Amino acid sequence: MLNTNNSDYVPQYVKIQNYILSKINSGELREGDKIPSENEISHMFSVSRITANTAIKELVTMGVIDRIKGKGSFVNSTMHTPTATNVFSNNVKINTAESVIKNHEVASIRLFKAPKEVAEKFQISPDESVFEIIRVVRHYNKPKYVDYTYIPSMYMKEESVISSKLSDTYIHDYLKKYGSAKPAKVQIYLNTPIYDYIDLSYLGENIPNTLFCWDTDIYDDDGALIAFTSTVTRQMLSGPFISFSLA
């Protein structure tokens, strides 16, 4: 049993998180390594499984830990910087009802070899092909923001990429109909890096030095990343970023 008497004011689930983070920072736990199970953590810290689960779920939200159904929890090999401003949401279940969006202009669709950062994120070989789908939303005929979506070819056949359907459909709904892997949940990260493979010319002329970007990652039921969209805009949007119905 671990001695956790010091700093008793610190919540137990935070102590658990700090313990795991310290193991990662020291190199004792490396990318892809399995962390202790909830049962093991609950015994180590003399806490309930609910507390252990809370600690792990928040580390998943931070992008530090990746849960794989039936296998356990592992140090994320595609870790986002674990800060509160970086993470927006985790494990948001995708509604089965189809949604309709408007004003998405499909600017480009291509199948090409995955850039290094994309290959690492999907954990695929750089020689494998991915679809890139670029969609522009305009306001007063000027680009408001641009969606750059990437889908490995293993999850989408070339004949299934239909430009007219992509202009008014969310990517997760599109994958439900035409993809070989079915989306189950999303993670949304704010203030994400803008990599060199992203063609910013779709934002129009006089692109400012400071841009705002967020990533929407789509996973199947097994926890595999099957698509992601990097959305880039000139400035942080006014109004709510996203709205939820509590009904």
Give 176-204 pLDDT, tens digit per residue.
888 888 898 888 887 888 999 999 999 98
Q: What is the rounded distance in angstroms from the CA atom of residue 231 to the CA atom of residue 226?
A: 17
Structure tokens at 144: 């408001």
Q: What is the rounded distance in angstroms from the CA atom of residue 12 to the CA atom of residue 14?
A: 5
Find tokens 């969006």 and name the residue: 101
Average pLDDT of 60-72? Answer: 81
Q: In this structure, what is the dihedral angle of CA atoms 193, 198, 204, 206, given to the nearest 10 degrees?
A: 50
Which pTM was predicted?
0.61
Average pLDDT of 18-28? Answer: 85
User: Which domains, ranges and CATH numbers included, belong to the chain?
Assistant: 12-79 (1.10.10.10), 104-233 (3.40.1410.10)
pLDDT, tens digit, 9 for 90 and up, residues 72-111: 899 886 554 444 334 444 444 445 454 445 567 899 999 9
pLDDT, tens digit, 9 for 90 and up, residues 106-143: 999 999 999 999 999 999 998 899 999 999 988 778 88
Does 43 score more than 90 pLDDT?
yes
The pLDDT of residue 139 is: 76
The pLDDT of residue 144 is: 85
The pLDDT of residue 167 is: 79
Average pLDDT of 215-232? Answer: 90
Would you give the distance in Å from CA 161 to the centre of its chain? Answer: 22
The pLDDT of residue 26 is: 82
The pLDDT of residue 89 is: 44
